[in-house]
Chain A
Amino acid sequence: MTQLDIPPQAGRARPRYEDLVQPARVHGSLYTRPDIFADELERIWYRTWVYVGHVSEVARPNDYVRKNIGPQDVIMTRAKDGQVHLLLNRCAHRGNLVCEADAGNSSSFRCPYHGWTFRNDGDLLGYPFSQGYGGRGQLTEGLSHVARVAVHQGFVFGSMAADGPTLAEHLGPAADEIDRLVRLSPEGEVEITAGFLKHRTRANWKLLAENETDGYHPQFVHSSIFTVAESGIGTLYGETSTAVTRALGNGHSENDLRPEFRRLGQPLGWFGTTESKVPDYVAAMRRVHGDAAEDILIEGAPHVMVFPNLFIAEIQLFTLQPLAADLSVQHVTAIQLKGAPEMNTRMLQQSIGSVGPAGLLLADDTEMYERNQVGLGELRPEWLDLRRGLHRERRDERGLTIGDATDETGMRGFWAHYRQLMTEGGSR
């Protein structure tokens, strides 16, 4: 056998990410090596802004819900004063879980092991038999906070690094896509209240993140459902589609389907329905937005992947949770638009049909992720190809890189940012 470019488990040396991530190809070991996964946790998941949850999941004071940042078990709480906190689910005493329930309402968490009690803003309230510590008020160790918490349009992000870019800097133009989503609610707010499906995926998280704005695969992976059900999705990702794939910077990307929806020119065409089916919603939107309602209703919802773990697929919200180099969980729910009950029922029922373990779409995507992971165990060819559409890439009016509907522009943007994060401060 001739020499491989990068031998498997290359010695004990730290991987050189400059070599593994190249402009038009990436190395297979990035998806399979446990040491690389450990590096990613440290350099990406425990550093950059990660989407954790939505304020509507803790709507009332003292509500809490268990969330995650990769393998980290995070409790999202709303304190009595309305402030949202992200707390690590680990007792300050001996590390037991302080919260077992998935969600609830409580002003405090009591560790079952030795009875230490913490307020839902993380502060230590008390510890039994206090004389063993010299009396009450001697200890101050609370629950650990995710270092930084920031909210955009109700979307709560956390960064485990005390310093770094602000959320606004991290999101950049991806924030506009979130804004575009919430604008579809007559009240300008989305609600995440429909509960999550949790779909186990025996594959590396990056395969999922890359696929979210891959406009090349739908015609093949989803051809079965396009054959048997009326779906406009197929043509959006055809070779002649006028939609574009856009790298939004900082690893974010989108399939901008608006050119196709504008061509269709029909309010709610993006959702496969018509005004007459949801008259109250359309009336409410016209009341709020006046003449601008027409464009909003024609252009529809975004299809955007926010690095590293938030995917808004028009009417669904996905979060990606990496657990090991070859294990991830997709959490998915139907987005609900505040003040739009007619839309919400439809968004929920469409989502149930499409996503999750039995989804007519997502079960097949997940099958691809898992086969991909197995395939990547083979040693050759070493590289994954990222060239699609490189020759026709161009800049839009905002200076962002765009490609055709089926081009790998989004993936290239993802990897450029990945490489930057993994090499910041130099390779070790």
Chain B
Amino acid sequence: MTTAEAVDVRRLEQFLYREARLADEHQFEAWEALWTDDGLYWVPAGADDIDPMTQMSVIYDNRRRISTRIAQLQTGRRYAQVPSSRLRRTVSNVEVLAVDGAETTVQANFVLVESRERGKEVWAGRYTYRLRLVDGELRMAYKKVALVDNARVLPTLAFLI
């Protein structure tokens, strides 16, 4: 039996779907509550595996900056999201990569359609999550979004991806 088989994959998937829905529906408080206190939210630029301490990322939010990002969205004056984008994403190809003590590393593909007055954008890529049980509940300690077009010109990305 591999370690991957030891975890409850259905439960992990349900978490990913819920996280996706909360982001799609701009349920900011509920989305933020999914994070652990040491959460890291990362969207690399230029390539999937850059050094975030020496290279520019699209997003490299520690827990504090995740809070700032959410608080800014909640002001109603984050104009890049006023009005909010209409979003729906599909999450699939879920793979459990590693189980290390209390932490499970999961990857999944996503395709996301964003609709705004000025047009429609398609976003796609691969998510990497590190999920942890905190008081019996799954929480995100890490979410990395490797966009397929992260080396190219990107439009504004002010929603939660």
Is B77 interfacial (CB-CB < 8 Å)? yes
In the bound complex, CA of A363 to CA of B77 (Å): 12
Size band of the interface chain B makes with A: 20 to 34
A357 & B71 in contact (Cβ 8 Å cutoff): no
Is A190 interfacial (CB-CB < 8 Å)? no
Report if A349-B60 is in contact (Cβ < 8 Å); known contacts: A367-B79, A368-B79. Answer: yes
In the bound complex, CA of A25 to CA of B64 (Å): 44
What A residues does B93 contact at CB under 8 A? none
What B residues does A374 contact at CB under 8 A? 118
Q: Which of B53, B56, B72, B151 contacts A224 (CB 8 A)?
A: B72
B71 & A367 in contact (Cβ 8 Å cutoff): no
B153 & A198 in contact (Cβ 8 Å cutoff): yes
Report if A363-B157 is in contact (Cβ < 8 Å); known contacts: A345-B53, A358-B59. Answer: yes
Within 8 A of B (CB), among A356-370: 356-358, 360, 363-364, 366-368, 370
B156 & A357 in contact (Cβ 8 Å cutoff): yes
Is A223 interfacial (CB-CB < 8 Å)? yes
B55 & A194 in contact (Cβ 8 Å cutoff): yes
Closest B residue to A230 by beta carbon equals: B68
What A residues does B69 contact at CB under 8 A? 360
A200 & B153 in contact (Cβ 8 Å cutoff): yes
Q: Which of A229, A351, A363 contacts B56 (CB 8 A)?
A: A351
Report if A198-B152 is in contact (Cβ < 8 Å); known contacts: A345-B53, A349-B60. Answer: yes
What A residues does B154 contact at CB under 8 A? 197-200, 356-357
B75 & A357 in contact (Cβ 8 Å cutoff): no
CB distance from A394 to the nearest CB of B (A): 34
Is B46 interfacial (CB-CB < 8 Å)? yes
Q: Which of B45, B77, B158 contacts A195 (CB 8 A)?
A: B45
The winner among B55, B58, B156 for most chain A CB atoms within 10 A is: B156
A227 & B75 in contact (Cβ 8 Å cutoff): yes
A interface residues, how many (CB within 8 angstroms): 38
Is B89 interfacial (CB-CB < 8 Å)? no
B153 & A329 in contact (Cβ 8 Å cutoff): yes
In the bound complex, CA of A123 to CA of B56 (Å): 35
B75 & A195 in contact (Cβ 8 Å cutoff): no
The winner among A198, A351, A352, A356 for most chain B CB atoms within 10 A is: A352
Is B155 interfacial (CB-CB < 8 Å)? yes
Is A202 interfacial (CB-CB < 8 Å)? yes
In the bound complex, CA of A229 to CA of B67 (Å): 10
Within 8 A of A (CB), among B74-105: 75-80
Is A163 interfacial (CB-CB < 8 Å)? no
What A residues does B80 contact at CB under 8 A? 363-364, 366-367
1/0 per residue B38-58: CB within 8 Å of A?
000001011000100111111
Report if A356-B56 is in contact (Cβ < 8 Å); known contacts: A197-B45, A198-B154, A370-B118. Answer: yes
B118 & A202 in contact (Cβ 8 Å cutoff): yes
A224 & B78 in contact (Cβ 8 Å cutoff): yes
Is A162 interfacial (CB-CB < 8 Å)? no
In the bound complex, CA of A202 to CA of B121 (Å): 13
The winner among A193, A332, A348, A351 for most chain B CB atoms within 10 A is: A348
In the bound complex, CA of A345 to CA of B68 (Å): 20
What A residues does B18 contact at CB under 8 A? none
Within 8 A of B (CB), among A195-244: 195-200, 202, 221, 223-225, 227-229
In the bound complex, CA of A194 to CA of B61 (Å): 17
Is A143 interfacial (CB-CB < 8 Å)? no
In the bound complex, CA of A257 to CA of B118 (Å): 36
What B residues does A202 contact at CB under 8 A? 118
What are 27 A-B pairs at a CB distance below 8 A?
A: A194-B54, A195-B55, A196-B46, A196-B56, A197-B45, A198-B153, A199-B155, A199-B156, A200-B154, A224-B75, A224-B76, A228-B68, A228-B71, A229-B68, A332-B56, A333-B56, A352-B57, A353-B61, A356-B154, A357-B58, A357-B157, A357-B158, A358-B157, A360-B68, A360-B72, A368-B79, A370-B118
Chain A residues within 8 Å of B, Cβ to Cβ: 102, 193-200, 202, 221, 223-225, 227-229, 329, 332-334, 345, 348-349, 351-353, 356-358, 360, 363-364, 366-368, 370, 374
Known pairs A352-B60, A364-B79; list 13 more (Cβ under 8 Å): A196-B45, A196-B56, A197-B45, A200-B156, A224-B76, A224-B79, A228-B72, A229-B68, A229-B71, A352-B56, A360-B68, A363-B78, A364-B78
Top 8 nearest A-B pairs by Cβ distance? A224-B77, A363-B80, A228-B71, A357-B157, A224-B75, A198-B153, A367-B80, A363-B158
